[in-house]
Amino acid sequence: MKIISREEILKVLPDIDLIPAIEEGFVAYSTGKATVPPVGELLLEKGEVHIKYGYISDEPYYVVKIASGFSGNPKIGLPTGNGLMLLFSQATGEPVSVLLDEGYLTEIRTAVAGAIAAKYLAPSMVRKIGIVGTGMQARLQLRYLEEIVDCREVLVWGRSEENLAKYRSEMEPRGFEIQATREAGRILHECNFIVTATPAKEPVLLSKDLQPGTHITAMGSDTPEKQELDTGILKKTDLVVADSIPQCLLRGEIFKALEAGAIMQDDLVELGNIISGSVPGRTSDDQVTVADLTGVAVQDIKIATAVYEACSE
């Protein structure tokens, strides 16, 4: 039983090729090789907890991931997110490893999924990257896009000047040219590749501002309550991609749009099927595409396995 600290995880992470690993996870999921039961959820007075678990056939481990968000934590000097990942043997049930990542691997695998969505769905020429939100995920999404998208011009939207300034000062040294705005409409007017990464419960981006040839990766909404895009955006979208169709029927932007009758379940395409080539991704630069990422346990399985193996070498 190997206990792996956050420090050890941070040390091995840069040497792991996460994009192909997590792509494999999505393909395993969409081809029925992964068993991923519905997400366990625990609502506490001060926070919420998600338990994601499952396994991929022919792999050595089953994985359980516990991730929490406690919104009052920053007031007492603690990060909002926390959690850990557990690996167990698929052959005997024996615990193999506890990864004390404090929720960091969830952040990373989420950002990597954004990069994967970009790889298959971004327009061939990204003019300007739009980032909606200024938090941890708004930073990580941009960092992991570096490998996939050449564009270095970024427009970031946030509610507070202070957070926008912080975002700028942190991301500019990485080689991005960052403009900031508090007008969300500008994002859809100026950017053709957009990532939304807020915990909003009311739409931030509105269909009246949507332009042809736009891609949006919506990764903020992962519960039935959260919503970043008005349902009109999904109605106008040519290709609506879910990380997991069964999960998106119950949570996220797709759930909201289905509920509003803006899209039909038959219109949905799963990310893993685009990665494997069994269904096409973006086929023209005029299309509007949306990837709704709610987070699937296969991402946790793949990142936990990769980190454990890197630490065991």
CA distance 7 to 10: 5
Q: At its nearest, how many Å lie between a copy of itself and the CB of residue 76?
A: 7
Choose the catalytic residue: 52, 65, 256, 302. Answer: 65
AA identity, residue 251:
R
For a copy of itself, the closer CB: 68 or 294: 68
Report if residue 299 touches a copy of itself, rule: CB under 8 A. no
As a whole number of angstroms, the distance between CA 162 and CA 158 comes to 9
**Active-site annotation holds for 52:** no
Q: Does 51 bind a copy of itself (CB under 8 A)?
A: yes
d(CA 25, CA 2): 23
- Give Cβ neighbours of residue 162 (< 8 Å, ≥ 6 apart): none
For the chain, the helix, strand and coil percentages under 3-state DSSP, each to the nearest 5:
40, 25, 35
Q: Quick one: 85 or 204, whose CB is closer to a copy of itself?
A: 85
Site mask for a copy of itself (CB under 8 A), range 53-92, x = bound: xxx-x----x-x-x-xxx--x--x-x--xxxx-x-x-xxx
Q: Which is nearer to a copy of itself, 89 or 179 (CB)?
A: 89
Question: Distance (Å, rounded) from C-alpha 222 to C-alpha 293?
Answer: 8
CB of 65: closest distance to a copy of itself in angstroms? Answer: 11
Inter-CA distances, 245 with 2, 97, 155, 254, 256, Å = 34, 30, 30, 9, 13
Nearer to a copy of itself, 58 or 202 (CB): 58
Helix (H, G, I), strand (E, B) or coil at 123: coil
Residue 10 binds a copy of itself (CB under 8 A): no
Binding residues for a copy of itself, rule: CB under 8 A, are 1, 3, 35, 37, 40-47, 49, 51, 53-55, 57, 62, 64, 66, 68-70, 73, 76, 78, 81-84, 86, 88, 90-95, 98, 100, 102
Catalytic residues: 65
